[in-house]
Amino acid sequence: MTTVQKRRARARGGELDDCLRACAVHSGKVVGSVDRRRVELAEQLRKLLVVWGTTATSAAAPAPAGGATALLKRAVKGAAAPSGGIPNELLDALLAVANKALECGYDDELNLALVISDTVLAQRKNSRAGWRLRARLLETLGEEAEAVEAYDKYLALTDDDGFGVRARIAGLRVAAEKERELLALLRRQNPRAEEFTRRAATDVWAEGLAAQAVGDWTEAEPRLVGALLTLAAEDSPVADRQELLSQYLDLRMTQETDLAALTEALALYAEQRRNRMRGPVADPTIGGVQWISLGEFRNRIAGKSICLIANSGRVGASSMGAEIDAYDIVVRFNSYKIDPKHTGGRTDIHATIHKHGFNWDQRVDTRLVFGGISGDWKYSLRNRLVPGAQTFLGDESLRWPVRNIGKLGTDVWSGIPTTGFNMLYLLDFLDVSPTLDLIGFDFYESGAYRVPEAMKLAITSVHEYTSEKAWVMQRAQSVTDLRISLR
């Protein structure tokens, strides 16, 4: 199937009824999957079906007995979507499904995400989350030009860029330009390649591989380059072009005698790859940041009073700004919001999960980035760290305190520890602070208090807030309405 045929074959959405039924049908497909990503998708689909059932029946009849299974049967038979547009709760549930489907990366799931994306934007043409979903999906599908357009629409609808979209756009644009430069260079280095651009790229590529296999690089190279030029002219998906570019350069390195020409090509290839990964970087050393280990972090906080500030509604109305700034060290989390009267104005340590880029551009003394999977954590550091925004950066010994330092496995602590709990556990474990206070920690009872762009983020169910609260209260020395003191 050609690239154009694949694009046409993809399912498209728009009608809410059809989209919800597609989700219901897909829910049945992933039942019993052993793939972790599909298991997580199945859970989001189950939640969507519950929300749909509640929304669709709230104004008519009670939801059918039998839970999600009954809702699935009812959906496939053609239960009506709610009238009057898409309710916020249903919108959020659809977006959660689409994001998990996108993480799966398989064709069936990408088609489902595409249906949801079309539907969300048909129902809510100014949905920021909808446009960001569309952009990420198009990028995954290799449609970079359309992805940039969608990212631009997202930015036009928001004042904040906690997801690093501007850097992403810049990276994609620079990468596309460098790829064009690379292909122009290959065209100049292989004048015969032009004669092989008039036929199907797959056929020409196969001929090139056959010639290379029998040791005839003189005939192989122009065919391989010709196929690459054809793919670029057809605007084939980026992943396809990148894979074949990589294969061609690997083969060329075993044959090349002109090292200067090879080096020029490799430099352009590397530059466009780097920009696709993280965007243009003025300072690859991240401003000369100093990595610190567990022991070095301990020495930096020893003997100092510390307060941890929750991102809660209670803090946002606390009038405790002056008291907070009086501590030796102020710790804030993820998408914290500053209002000096209530929250204080200083941030010494920013503790954040690696998955979001909120406040990574804010100047702090120390930034601790938490993450459960080492490879994903490293990727986020390469792509999100802002040069000059931190003096000290936690190394891998500080990556995931509850699991790696406390050695609490899933048999002991089954939920994913929050950023706040990881930070608190680390400070309690080190036990070198005479004062360790939690300000405004009510475990979201008063709602979230975050930068505007993060206010739509769901309070996820993968964390054990009840267990974390119990852990804190067992160690509390004193408790008031706004302050819990552990020392």
**pLDDT tens, the chain, 487 aa long:** 444 444 444 556 678 889 999 999 999 999 888 888 899 999 999 999 898 887 765 544 444 445 444 544 444 444 455 555 788 899 999 999 999 999 998 999 999 999 999 999 999 999 999 999 999 999 999 888 899 999 999 999 988 777 778 888 998 999 999 999 999 999 999 999 999 999 999 999 999 999 999 999 999 999 999 999 999 999 898 989 999 999 999 999 998 788 999 999 999 999 999 888 777 766 666 677 899 999 999 999 999 999 999 999 999 999 999 999 999 999 999 999 999 999 999 999 999 999 888 999 999 999 999 999 888 898 888 778 888 899 999 999 999 999 999 988 888 887 889 999 999 999 999 999 999 999 999 876 778 888 887 876 755 554 567 888 899 999 999 999 899 999 9
SS3 20: helix
DSSP classification of residue 196: G
pLDDT at 12: 62
Residues 468, 358 contacting (CB under 8 angstroms): no
**How far is residue 295's CA from residue 398's CA, in Å, rounded to a whole number?**
10
Residues 369, 286 contacting (CB under 8 angstroms): no
pLDDT at 178: 95
Residue type at position 27: S
Tokens, residue 85: 């547009």
Tell me the HSE value of 185 on the side-chain side, using a 13 A CA sphere.
17
pLDDT at 189: 95
pLDDT at 241: 93
pLDDT at 401: 94
Query: Which runs of consecutive H residues, i.e. helices, occur in 190-318?
Result: 201-213, 217-233, 238-253, 259-278, 294-301, 313-316
pLDDT at 2: 45
pLDDT at 379: 80
Tokens, residue 55: 């929304």
**How far is residue 24's CA from residue 419's CA, in Å, rounded to a whole number?**
33
**How far is residue 337's CA from residue 315's CA, in Å, rounded to a whole number?**
10
What phi and psi values does residue 118 have, to the nearest 5 degrees? -60, -45
pTM summary value = 0.62
pLDDT at 458: 58
